[in-house]
Amino acid sequence: MVLKRQTLAIQDIYVPVQRRQTLDPRKVEILAESMMEKGQEAPILVRPDGKRFVLVEGLHRLEACKALGDAKIFAYLVQARKH
């Protein structure tokens, strides 16, 4: 299966509470600095959930994009089971 990179609106991505608890502000800061120079190199992983998308992987990349004021982010859509 080949994953296709898509551009999604950050506002359409839901971050589950248990994922938010793993946020490391220092990692976000380091990633944001890197993204300013190189752009977003690795897309996040999300799964479709109705009209929104649920974050599967890439919390720090998502938060770094938010910190930079980005409205969109590169993502791969995956079919993941709910936990």
Residue-wise DSSP of 9-76: EGGGEE--HHHHTT--HHHHHHHHHHHHHH---S-EEEEEETTEEEEEE-HHHHHHHHHTT-SEEEEE
Residue 10 contacts residue 71 (beta carbons within 8 Å): yes
pLDDT of residue 9: 98
pLDDT of residue 67: 97
Q: How far, in Å, CA of 66 to CA of 8, rounded?
A: 13
Q: Tell whether the model's pLDDT for residue 7 goes beyond 60.
A: yes
Rg (CA), the chain: 12
Q: Tell whether the model's pLDDT for residue 82 goes beyond 60.
A: no
CATH placement of domain 5-77: 3.90.1530.10
pLDDT (tens digit per residue) in 20-54: 888 999 999 999 999 999 999 999 999 999 999 99
Domain residue ranges of the chain, discontinuous segments joined by +: 5-77
pTM confidence score: 0.88
